[in-house]
Amino acid sequence: MIKRSNSYTGTATWFSPEKNGGNYGACWGEWIDDDSEIVALNGDQYGDMDGNSKWCGKRVQINGPHGTVTAKIMDACPGCGWGDLDLTPTLFKRVVGDLDKGVGEIKWKVL
């Protein structure tokens, strides 16, 4: 991971809130599903997994091989490495492409 001010590089993966962890993310209060335009931030950057992070609710722009999207950080990904984001299926398709790929290189920044 390379950090340049508010810009990061990492790997995008995808998760189904409905099947992987429930419809409420680590950031309290907002219902999420597979069509939500939210991401789960890697655990190292998220911080304390037992509460809301300073990252909760921040908007990010994600650039990948298939496109660019804007999303909101509303969950945490304990198994992701520094700079990585776990995207909902709807976002992953728009950024990386086919869900069968499973992973893709991304660049993202805080807006």
Strands (E) located in the chain: 3-4, 7-14, 38-42, 59-63, 68-77, 85-87, 104-110
Q: What is the CATH number of the domain that holds 29?
A: 2.40.40.10
Average pLDDT, integer, range 67-95? 96
Q: Is the pTM of this model over 0.95?
A: no
- The answer to whether 41 touches 85, Cβ cutoff 8 Å, is yes
* Domain ranges, residue 22: 3-110
Q: What total number of domains does the chain contain? A: 1
Rounded percentage of the chain residues whose pLDDT exceeds 70? 94
Q: Which amino acid is at 35?
A: D
Helix (H, G, I), strand (E, B) or coil at 80: coil
Out of 12-21, 57-66, 69-78, 81-90, least confident range: 12-21
At 2-55, the pLDDT tens digits run 445 689 999 999 999 878 766 778 887 788 899 999 999 999 999 988 888 999
More confident position, 1 or 60:
60
What pLDDT, on a 0 to 100 scale, did the predictor assign at position 1? 52
